[in-house]
Amino acid sequence: MKNVGVWMDKEKAHIVRLDNNEEHLETLFSEVEFFNRKSTAAPRVKTGATQDVTHERTYLEREKQQLKTYFKKLAKAIDDADALALFGPADTNEKFRKELLENHKDLADKLKTVTKVDSMTENQTKALVRDFFKDTK
């Protein structure tokens, strides 16, 4: 039985595969851009208001499309799992769960948990996945 645990955030996903006492770690990077709004902060002469023109909607839409691409790559990377567990510090793992429910029903059926955990090292991630699947047997 191939158990797969994924620790993920917007930047990367650590995929831990447990298969017959063998453990493999793979890291998949998301290529999601992080944007900082750059402000001119120069006051307008007539009104005194700043000239901040942000295109936040454009940035959010771009991030949404990049996350979709990231989720497709991640789903393809773990499509051979018999059981799946998702971990992560933010809501990215919950968004990925929704993506699985909508577009990858076969993987969504194998999902055992979606749990919030803080940032972890690779060894901590391996231990978390190992302990989770040891307890679910």
pLDDT of residue 52: 54
For 119-132, what is the mean pLDDT? 93
pLDDT of residue 63: 87
pLDDT of residue 135: 76
Strand ranges across the sheet with 12-19? 22-29, 12-19, 2-8, 83-88, 111-116
CATH number of 2-32+67-135, picked from 3.30.56.10, 3.40.50.620, 3.40.50.1820, 3.30.420.60? 3.30.420.60
Q: Predicted confidence band at 88 (pLDDT cuts at 50, 70, 90)?
A: very high
pLDDT of residue 59: 81
Give the chain's length: 137
- Per residue in 26-47, pLDDT (tens digit) is 999 998 877 665 555 555 555 6
| H helix count then E strand count, the chain | 4, 5
**Annotated domain spans of the chain:** 2-32+67-135
Q: Predicted confidence band at 3 (pLDDT cuts at 50, 70, 90)?
A: very high
Is residue 93 over pLDDT 70?
yes
